[in-house]
A and B are shown apart, each in its own frame.
Chain A
Amino acid sequence: DIQMTQSPSSLSASLGDRVTITCRASQNIGSYLNWYQHKPGKAPNLLIYAASSLQSGVPSRFSGSGSGTDFTLTISGLQPEDFATYYCQQSYSTLLTFGGGTKVEIK
């Protein structure tokens, strides 16, 4: 299995802050990395696919970067609706695996 490790597991930030979340894969996965946003009681939402492609309808303040084993999700200018848990997921292997999640909370 490809293990996905996210950091931090949680963070506190203020409105307007720039937030960075890191995801590391246990092996080289190229650009086969996706990011999801998950709010309690809601369906998870695909934000970024193929490491850096913004899903249709997702605000441009979300961006993704990286390749190989190290990836980053950046939120530029945190908005009230962005407080949620974020997950990375590798799509290199048929056995899909997710990171442990990063909970973004209000400071």
Chain B
Amino acid sequence: QVQLQESGPGLVKPSETLSLTCTVSSVSITSYYWNWIRQPPGKGLEWIGHIHYSGGTNYNPSLKSRVTISVDSSKKQFSLKLTSVTAADTAMYYCARDFDGSGRILNFWGQGTLLTVSS
């Protein structure tokens, strides 16, 4: 069974860079698309972007100028960096793998990590 686990600092100051890592277990990362999704408190889900194991990326245009997703196959990890964070970036952040290699159906998810932006 594919397992994903998010990790991060929990608290980031405004204007700083958010860095999160997703560690993948029980399967090779050299296949499929690897996604980041977030959910602000009391709101719905927002897709942030994804990376193909080969390195190709797609980002949500609303975040594109601030987002970088990268992959480290040797560590079976992929990462999210979001620059110039504000309180609006406070959210539960989830990583997920796609279902069929299309990058568009999210089959395996982590349980999420809460990221708070506050001084």
Give A residues with C-beta under 8 Å from B.
Answer: 32, 34, 36, 41-46, 49, 55, 87, 89, 91, 94-101
Contact bitstring B99-119, A, C-beta under 8 A = 1, else 0: 100111111111110000000
Contact of B45 among A32, A45, A87, A95 (CB under 8 A): A87
Contact of B44 among A34, A42, A87, A95 (CB under 8 A): A87
For residue B60, CB closer than 8 A to chain A, the reply is yes
A96-B104 contact, Cβ under 8 Å, with A44-B94, A49-B99, A87-B44: yes
Task: Work out how many contacts link A and B, with CB atoms closer than 8 A.
Answer: 52
Q: What's the Cα separation between A49 and B98 when bound, in Å?
A: 12
Contact bitstring B80-111, A, C-beta under 8 A = 1, else 0: 00000000000000101001001111111111
When the two chains form their complex, are residues B105 and A46 in contact, meaning their CB atoms are under 8 A apart? yes
Considering the complex, which residues of chain B in the window 24-71 have a beta carbon less than 8 Å from any beta carbon of chain A? 44-47, 58, 60-61
Chain B residues with CB under 8 Å of A89's CB are 45, 106
